[in-house]
């Protein structure tokens, strides 16, 4: 194993103070990627203001610009993100974990490992609070994918977190002929937001752009709801407890094996 590969595999994450990043989530993504391009492994645990985030593929909808303007006028800006997938609601009660780090591997070959690595960090944090999760697709949930974190068994499982990743190629040393990428891996965790509000906002926007998508409230669950369903008391500071658990797991994590 080469020294450069070893240094990438055994790096730990540096937690970034949210105040050190731009308030615009998309500019913050660029700032995290810039650090990964420079060879750093960084983590950001954050909460966005009331908003929606959609992939750039939504630009195919003719009504997108008008819909974004209408939602911004209501105090709910709609951001265009780098990664793929679908619409994601943001706002109070929804925590985000962003990991950015360098990768030495052909494009996409570590995609599954990166998703599993991210899911394990979030799942371990939730497990420490008494919420057991696993990864699976949850039909009817927003931005569905097979690396959702889900709570509950089989077909009754509900989405508690969504994940996404984005790869960017960057220059690499002449002594190493393998491509070097910066990867941004991102999780959106429903902590104590209102699932009814989440789905109403998401469905209203999808209807306005005539995408044909519609999401179901009963296909998602928050950490607070999962605790209640398991007959645990819901701490008044549940959001801060979840944030602290995420931070602790990030501090203990190393990068995915490459």
Contact 116, 148 (CB under 8 A): no
Predicted confidence pLDDT, tens digits, the chain (258 residues): 333 444 555 679 999 998 899 888 889 999 999 999 988 999 999 999 999 999 999 999 999 999 999 999 999 999 998 888 899 999 999 999 999 999 988 887 899 999 999 999 999 999 999 999 999 999 999 999 999 999 999 889 999 999 999 999 887 655 565 558 999 999 999 999 999 999 999 999 999 999 999 999 999 999 999 999 988 889 999 999 999 999 999 999 999 987
Closest CA to 103 of 43, 183, 40, 32: 183
Beta carbons within 10 angstroms of residue 210's beta carbon: 11
Q: Exposure pattern of 85-98 as b/e (b: 16+ CB <10 Å)?
A: bbbbbbbebbbbbb
Superfamily of domain 3-252: Bira Bifunctional Protein; Domain 2 (3.30.930.10)
* pLDDT at residue 3, rounded to an integer: 39
Query: What is the DSSP secondary structure assignment for residue 105, as one 8-state letter?
Result: S
Q: How many residues does the chain have?
A: 258
The vertex-80 CA angle with 135 and 65, nearest 5°, equals 130
Query: Phi and psi at residue 125, in whole multiples of 5°?
Result: -65, -45
CA-only gyration radius of the chain, Å: 18
Q: How many Cα neighbours within 13 Å face the side chain of 184?
A: 22
Closest CA to 85 of 133, 118, 52: 52
In sequence order, what E strands does 47-123 have?
51-55, 78-81, 88-90, 94-104
Contact 94, 189 (CB under 8 A): yes
The residues annotated with a catalytic role in the active site are 143
Contact 8, 104 (CB under 8 A): yes
Query: What residue ranges do the domains of the chain occupy?
Result: 3-252
3-class DSSP state for residue 248? helix
* pLDDT at residue 173, rounded to an integer: 59
Query: What is the edge-to-edge ordering of all strands in the sheet holding 88-90?
Result: 78-81, 51-55, 88-90
Beta carbons within 10 angstroms of residue 182's beta carbon: 22
* pLDDT at residue 7, rounded to an integer: 54
* pLDDT at residue 9, rounded to an integer: 56
What number of helices (H) and strands (E) belong to the chain? 7, 10
* pLDDT at residue 183, rounded to an integer: 95
Query: What is the DSSP secondary structure assignment for residue 40, as one 8-state letter?
Result: -
């Amino acid at each position: 194993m080469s020294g450069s590969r070893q240094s990438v595999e055994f790096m730990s994450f540096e937690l970034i103070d949210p105040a050190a990043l731009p308030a615009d989530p998309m500019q913050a993504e660029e700032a995290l990627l810039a650090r990964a391009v420079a060879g750093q492994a960084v983590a950001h645990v954050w909460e966005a203001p009331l908003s929606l985030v959609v992939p750039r593929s939504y630009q195919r909808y003719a009504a997108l610009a008008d819909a974004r303007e209408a939602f911004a006028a209501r105090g709910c800006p709609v951001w265009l993100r780098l990664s793929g997938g679908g619409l994601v609601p943001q706002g109070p009660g929804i925590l985000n974990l962003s990991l950015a780090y360098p990768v030495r591997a052909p494009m996409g070959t570590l995609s599954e490992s990166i998703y599993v690595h991210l899911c394990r960090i979030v799942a371990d944090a939730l497990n420490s609070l008494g919420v057991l999760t696993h990864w699976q697709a949850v039909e009817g949930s927003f931005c569905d994918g097979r690396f959702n974190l889900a709570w509950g068994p089989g077909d009754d499982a509900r989405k508690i977190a969504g994940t996404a990743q984005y790869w960017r190629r960057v220059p690499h040393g002449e002594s190493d002929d393998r491509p070097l990428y910066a990867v941004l891996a991102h999780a959106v965790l429903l902590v104590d937001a209102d699932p009814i509000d989440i789905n109403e906002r998401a469905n209203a926007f999808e209807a306005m752009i005539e995408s044909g998508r519609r999401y179901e409230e009963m296909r998602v669950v928050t950490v607070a709801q999962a605790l209640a369903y398991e007959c645990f008391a819901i701490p008044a500071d549940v959001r801060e407890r979840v944030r602290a658990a995420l931070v602790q797991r990030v501090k203990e994590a190393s990068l995915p094996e490459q």
